[in-house]
Amino acid sequence: MNCEQVKELLSAYLDNALAPEERRSVATHLEACPECSEMLADFRRFDALLSRMPRINPDASLRERIFSSQEYLDQVVVVISAHLLYHRSLEISIQLRQM
């Protein structure tokens, strides 16, 4: 794996969301690459900082206004589309590797 590939997978690696073989490939790369290892360390620091922040629960009426707004709904469509496109590209990549 190269740095570009590993950087795209670091979040999933940190969340233990990779397939075992892919996780091993990322781990092997991280052992040899200080730049990617430092990026993973940054991700871990960010996670630790975020976990210490207080949870804020907005008022129910504010939540309703936000989640029912057209702007929010448009963003949901964009995020879901990007997510589906990402997973489809992974499927294609796996299929091409098996050829």
Q: Mean pLDDT per 10-residue run, the chain (99 residues)?
A: 94 94 97 96 93 90 92 92 87 81
Q: Last residue of a domain, which of 38, 53, 68?
A: 53
Residue 91: domain span: 58-99
Asked whether residue 1 falls in the same domain as residue 46, the answer is yes
Asked whether residue 11 falls in the same domain as residue 40, the answer is yes
pLDDT for res 65? 92
Asked whether residue 10 falls in the same domain as residue 37, the answer is yes
Asked whether residue 69 falls in the same domain as residue 21, the answer is no
Those residues whose C-beta lies under 8 Å from the C-beta of residue 43, and which sit 6 or more positions away, are: 10, 11, 14
Q: CATH number for the domain including 6?
A: 1.10.10
Those residues whose C-beta lies under 8 Å from the C-beta of residue 22, and which sit 6 or more positions away, are: 9
Asked whether residue 47 falls in the same domain as residue 63, the answer is no
CA–CA dist 54, 7 (Å, integer): 29
pLDDT for res 88? 86
Q: How many domains does the chain have?
A: 2
